[in-house]
Amino acid sequence: MIALATDCLLFKLSTGEALPLSADMVSVELLDDTTRWFEPEFVNQAAKAVFHYFKYELGRQIVSVCEFAEALQKVLEDFRMSPHLDSSPRAARVDCDLLGIARESGVGGELFFFPRLRDELRLQLRMSPQLLRFRGLRGCVMHLTRARHWSPRCRNLEEQIVGFLRQCLGLETHLGDVALLVD
């Protein structure tokens, strides 16, 4: 038997077949009604969050497509109903470039990166955004680890960065004030 890649989940189809997919491979098709509430990139990030939930929070290796779709639907409904987030394209959104911050950290790597990241988060929060997006996570991790291929060390640093951003955001704001998106 071939071992499942560490970053994959087996998606069980209604036919009984199982398809191994990573978070980046998960594709979501939107119905017309959904597209007026959410941008496609937002839905893709929500799908990655649901994937992470099943894989790492619940420790699952197999999930049915139906079960995944129901969880994603609940997440999207929660965002749609949230009084703190207007998920229309006109919502106040601030974008930050993680790879740029990593490059600015210079040869100090992670030692200088995390304080610089915290400073950037604080700076962006002064604009009182409804959505704070940090993009370029994968490139940032690859730059900081100086890796050529994704590895367990990369995955660990990726989780550290996301956890750090969540922790800093929680200390700086009331949790419902700002939505955080890291991709």
In the block, residue with structure tokens 């990139």: 41
Rounded Cα distance between 99 and 157, Å, is: 13
Rounded Cα distance between 4 and 117, Å, is: 34
pLDDT tens digits, residue range 127-179? 778 888 999 999 999 999 999 999 999 999 999 999 999 898 888 865 457 88
Q: Looking at the whole model, is its pTM more than 0.85?
A: no
Residue 35, classified by CB atoms within 10 Å of its CB into exposed (0-12), middle (13-18) or buried (19+), is: exposed
pLDDT tens digits, residue range 89-138? 434 678 899 999 999 888 778 889 999 999 999 888 887 788 889 999 99
